[in-house]
Amino acid sequence: MKKQDLLFAACFLAILAPFFLSSSVYDCYLAFNRTHGLIMSFLKFAVLSTAGEMIGLRITAGVYNRKGFGLFPRALVWGVLGMGISIAMTLFAGGTPLLLEQLGINGAVTAIGGPLSWEKTGVAFAISVAMNTVFAPVFMTLHKMTDLHIIENGGTVRGFFTPFRAAEKLKNLNWDVQWNFVFKKTIPLFWFPAHTVTFLLPGNFRVLFAALLGVVLGILLSIAARKK
């Protein structure tokens, strides 16, 4: 392990440690999370998911940051996308159990709000499948488009706020990797089970856990970047 790895790990632990070591900090987090959920979603994803991309860069290029990487623009994008993820989780967590009830699966709404059980796990899995089938492909494509925009503009803040040419970005995506790896493999093999766990957690921790999964996403993206 190199010096940069130790420094990165120390900074990461310094951010997370107060929540585990201080009950007052933890209580403040819970209170702020209840009253300002979208702001907390922005912060969680901006910090944790950007850290995941930094780890991905470390895997592919040997460094955590470099010229053109666009650390601040990436954090800004993750923060905004994090708010979208939080909204999507609320919509699918509330709507999918109702849909299951309409399909004849009685007790789905009660099960997802109750203690851990096979019924709750089944409903959580259904929520995960619905969200990752409907929302995730759009989210992943938009995220990749913003990546291209950041890279094309040298990773600068000023460049990030230049016109976003969506049609051009869509044409330049590597659809072979996007479809055959990101969609066909990571969604069913990783995100379906990962977000099943997410929806088994209490509501206050779902977005936080989803943001922590962003660290894993950074690693998966680094693997995708290596594929021809």
Give the model confidence (pLDDT) of 67-124 as tens digits.
899 999 999 999 999 999 999 999 999 999 999 999 999 999 999 999 999 999 999 9
pTM confidence score: 0.86
CA distances 139 to 46, 87, 120, 193, Å, are 15, 12, 26, 18
CA distances 221 to 8, 57, 109, 152, Å, are 19, 9, 35, 18
Q: Which amino acid is at 165?
A: R
Give the model confidence (pLDDT) of 26-79 as tens digits.
788 778 888 888 998 899 889 888 888 888 888 888 888 888 999 999 999 999
Distance CA 45, CA 78 (A): 5
